[in-house]
Amino acid sequence: MTETARTVMFHQAGGPEVMEIEDRPLGDPGPGEVRIRHRACGLNFIDVYQRSGLYPMALPHPLGMEAAGVIEAVGEGVTHLRPGDRAAYAAMPPGAYTEARVMPAAQICPLPDAIGYDQAAAMMLKGMTVEYLFHRTTPLKRGDTVLFHAAAGGVGLIACQWARSEGITLIGTAGTDEKCRLALEHGATHCINYRTGDFVARVRELTGGKGVDAVMDSVGKDTFDGSLDCLKPLGMMISFGNASGPVPPFNLAVLGQKGSLKITRPTLFTHIAEHDACQAMAQHLFRKVLDGDVSIRIDQRFPLDQVVKAHRTLEARATTGSTVLEL
């Protein structure tokens, strides 16, 4: 009898209700692949973008981009993992919302014993995102100032701690006073409630009118124009998400008018496409956690069969820290 794994699938783009749990067959790994048995998997806004159709996918398709568990079998040519190894990943193709899967091995990383499965599932995509934002996107050094939107989310709380550990001033934004306090507790130098104040005016005030060296913006449409106005001349706009919707087309000449600004739209999956780079980024993240510079806060936990509720909670911006599906 063929072994199966309970897997979250969607057959059409739409709201959370389009997700269904199905029993999907498990096979043996081929060359360059492994079979991994998950213990926990993480939720991210990219999952929402894929499910909603913002990022179109061939359907039907499984969901989920990060998880942690135990390697059950390895295919020919896989040398960095063995059966029984603890492992974690953020990787393409989607399909992490499952009990077990066969997948490419290159972006799966050996997991240190001191990091729990739930921690790892909550931090791989978010933590490696912070790693490339601070180290692989634009030169940042001790004493620089960055503006980070959604500072109390899963990526944001890691970014607050990362900035503090490297002597970078982080000005965060969040939608409630409670979330602002959370960001400050995790290392933000300042945090602005964007619902009760003008974040552009406040950033200018906090920087003595100079503006920030870089903006890290995963919100998208609602914050994009204001983010540009927060930058100092030659500053870098890093637009790495679309939580409020995609950024509308705009005139590139605006960048010149506002001070010869620079702009980039990076993704994690470009940065981790090469095996060696992915493993190095994961090791950097693991060191931050093991050294105590970064702690992973998991504020929401849902069993796999409550994935619809988990997505609704995420989309309502009713979460703080990270969210995991437990298996």
Cβ-based neighbours of 232, under 8 Å, separated by 6 or more: 207, 210, 211, 212, 213, 259
- Same-domain pairing of 186 and 284: no
Residue 163: is its pLDDT beyond 90? yes
- Whether 55 maps to a domain, the answer reads yes
72 lies in which domain range? 4-125+269-326
Taking each helix axis from N to C terminus, what angle separates 275-290 and 154-165, rounded to the nearest 10 degrees? 70
Please give the share of the chain, as a percent, with pLDDT higher than 90. Answer: 95
Q: What is the pLDDT of residues 194-246, one digit of tens each?
A: 999 899 999 999 999 999 999 999 999 999 999 999 999 999 999 999 888 88
- Whether 244 maps to a domain, the answer reads yes
The more confidently predicted of residues 62 and 319 is 62
Answer for the pair 93, 103: CB distance below 8 angstroms, yes or no.
yes
- Whether 132 maps to a domain, the answer reads no
At residue 1, the pLDDT reads 54
Tell me the CATH number at 293: 3.90.180.10
Local confidence band at 160 (pLDDT 50, 70, 90 cut-offs): very high
Structure tokens at 159: 């970014």
At residue 321, the pLDDT reads 86
Tell me the CATH number at 240: 3.40.50.720
- Same-domain pairing of 217 and 147: yes
Q: What is the pLDDT of residues 100-146, one digit of tens each?
A: 999 999 999 999 999 999 999 999 999 999 999 999 999 999 999 99
Q: What is the pLDDT of residues 41-67, one digit of tens each?
A: 999 989 999 999 999 999 999 999 999
Q: Cis check for the bond before 16: say yes or no (omega within 30 of 0).
A: no
The stretch 290-309 carries a mean pLDDT of: 96
At residue 103, the pLDDT reads 98
- Whether 133 maps to a domain, the answer reads no
Domain boundary among 265, 293, 314: 265
Sign, Cα dihedral of 265, 90, 274, 5: negative
- Same-domain pairing of 115 and 160: no
Residue 2: is its pLDDT beyond 80? no
Give the mean pLDDT of the chain. 96
Number of structural domains (the chain) is 2
- Same-domain pairing of 119 and 143: no
Answer for the pair 68, 124: CB distance below 8 angstroms, yes or no.
yes
Phi, psi of 98 (to 5 degrees): -160, 160
- Same-domain pairing of 9 and 119: yes
Q: How far apart, in whole angstroms, are the C-alpha atoms of residue 62 and residue 312?
A: 18
- Same-domain pairing of 180 and 241: yes
At residue 21, the pLDDT reads 98
- Angle (CA) 65-159-68 rounded to 5° is 30
At residue 280, the pLDDT reads 98
Q: How far apart, in whole angstroms, are the C-alpha atoms of residue 299 and residue 19?
A: 23
Please give the share of the chain, as a percent, with pLDDT higher than 70. Answer: 100
- Same-domain pairing of 178 and 217: yes
At residue 242, the pLDDT reads 87
- Same-domain pairing of 258 and 208: yes
At residue 77, the pLDDT reads 98
The stretch 185-199 carries a mean pLDDT of: 96
Stated pTM of the model:
0.94
- Whether 100 maps to a domain, the answer reads yes
Answer for the pair 221, 246: CB distance below 8 angstroms, yes or no.
yes
- Same-domain pairing of 196 and 101: no
- Same-domain pairing of 200 and 249: yes
Comparing C-alpha atoms, which of 187, 191, 237, 192 is closest to residue 214? 237
The stretch 302-322 carries a mean pLDDT of: 93
